[in-house]
Amino acid sequence: MFLAASLILLGAIAGSTQAYWRLSCGIVQTSRIDPIINPGVVSPHAHKIAGASNIDASSTYDTLQKAPCTSCEIGADLSAYWTPILYYQHPNGSFEEVPNQGMTIYYEGRGDNRSNLQPFPPGFRMVSGNSALRSYDKTKLIPGSNRPIADRVSFACLDVGSSPEQPYMARTSCINGLRAQIHFQSCWDGQNLYKPDNSHVEYMSGLDNGVCPATHPIPLIHLFYEILYSVNNVNQDGGKFVFSQGDPTGYGFHGDFLNAWDPATLETAIKNCANTNDGGVDNCDAFKATYNPNFSKTCPERPPIVNEPVHGMIDKLPGCITITPGPDPATPADTNCPDGSSQPTLNGRDLPAVHEFQAPTRAQFRRPFVPMHGSPLPRPSYSESY
């Protein structure tokens, strides 16, 4: 059902894009981990993760490259992709996991400079969305545009007839499922593989098209996630849907990307398929050597890394989560466990408390960045917007 339903409304999507390839991915891990935001420790809230089978709380490009398999259909892509879990809170206080079999990842040839798209470098990672939001933020705009950054998140109710997409969970009775969608930043500063405030990347002027700002001159291939939730498989008995970070609105939907592509495969695919392909990965020669249509069987979901209930019907949201309906953003006190509280274990080991993490810069890696086409780009200044 997942693969079939994921293609609903594909014609509308294809009509709005130039060219792309589309990866189908199964879930490989469901746990309270986030190796980008909270590396090496238990995360405040839980995620569903697709991609490399060895994903854990401390994953990096180098460790993912050693994964035995990937839950996505291209074996050369050992990246990890994750989003929060959707639950349904029943009137009796219990939480039911909403069925979700995986996600669809679009790699799109977008932007005015799409002929010069660059591959994600080894070690690159980024986050899109703000898990604390509980209302539509009109104040934070895309640089050089009047469009709110909040438009990166949208929801589509796949039901009889069509309805406009919304930046929140406007409708949750959807025969063919509720689809969450998120756009990622496509402009890079060329220096930092990651910065905790995500200022190493920026959105194009039109969010999913347009130009990159001068501070982030390097155009990256555009990432877009779709996650389909079978909301009508849940007995909606007067409760409410809520994401694992305590968000009953959907405004706080977010996605993470930890790159672990085989560099040569990704570079070839961008060069030959990003601006010509019609969506199917089987139409791109760069993928033929590692294309695996049986990915969901050959790389199934692993047991949860963190030893706490996350699947099925559970008594509480994983972690120390307070459900916050907004409109004010959630605070750290709404999602973080108090100091000194007991923590779950990871593979039999006690996990340390969440701590601050300073990511390495590009200068700490071996190879300088050189674009696929032409000479090295100038070193830009940083943007503080996010």
pLDDT for 355 equals 34
Q: Is 333 helix (H, G, I), strand (E, B) or coil?
A: helix
CB 135 within 8 A of CB 194: no
Instruction: Give the pLDDT of residue 116.
Output: 93
Q: What is the pLDDT of residues 117-134, one digit of tens each?
A: 999 999 999 999 999 999
Q: What is the pLDDT of residue 18?
A: 64
Asked whether residue 33 carries a pLDDT value surpassing 50, the answer given is yes
Beta strands in 137-280 (DSSP E): 153-157, 178-183, 187-188, 201-202, 218-219, 222-229, 240-243, 254-258, 278-280
What is the overall mean pLDDT for the chain? 86
pLDDT bin (cut points 50, 70, 90) of residue 106 is: very high
Residue 366 has pLDDT above 70, yes or no: no
The residue count for the chain:
386
| pLDDT exceeds cutoff 50 at 169 | yes
Contacts of residue 264, defined as CB under 8 A and 6 or more positions apart, other chains included, come to none
pLDDT value of position 374: 37
Tokens matching residue 179: 């689809």
- Can you list the positions of beta strands (E) in the chain? 20-31, 47-51, 80-84, 86-89, 95-97, 102-108, 125-129, 153-157, 178-183, 187-188, 201-202, 218-219, 222-229, 240-243, 254-258, 278-280, 313-314, 345-346, 349-350
Sign of the four-CA dihedral 179, 262, 129, 243: positive
- Of 85-89, 118-122, 345-349, which gets the smallest average pLDDT? 345-349
Q: Which ranges in the chain belong to alpha helices (H)?
A: 2-6, 10-15, 61-64, 263-273, 295-298, 332-335
Residue 375: pLDDT band with limits 50, 70, 90: very low
Q: What share of the chain is helix, strand, coil (3-state, %, to 5)?
A: 15, 25, 60
DSSP state of 245: T
Statement: residue 151 has pLDDT above 70: yes
Q: Can you tell me the mean pLDDT for 344-353?
A: 59
Average pLDDT value for residue range 27-33:
97
Is the per-residue pLDDT at 359 higher than 50? Answer: no
Residues near 129 by beta carbon (within 8 Å), at least 6 away in sequence: 152, 153, 182, 252, 253, 254, 255
182-196, 265-279, 301-315, 334-348: least confidently modelled range:
334-348
Query: Mean pLDDT over residues 53-77, rounded?
Result: 96
Percent of the chain with pLDDT over 90: 76
Query: What confidence tens digit (pLDDT) does each residue in 219-259 have?
Result: 999 999 999 999 999 999 999 999 999 999 999 999 999 99
The residue with greater pLDDT, 357 or 4, is 4
User: Could you read off the pLDDT of 280-292 as tens digits, one per residue?
Assistant: 888 899 999 999 9
The region of weakest confidence among 10-14, 49-53, 239-243, 291-295 is 10-14
Rounded to whole angstroms, the Cα distance separating 218 from 265 reads 20
Residue 5's pLDDT band, with cuts at 50, 70 and 90, is very low
3-class SS at 372?
coil
Q: What is the pTM of this model?
A: 0.86
More confident residue, 319 or 18: 319
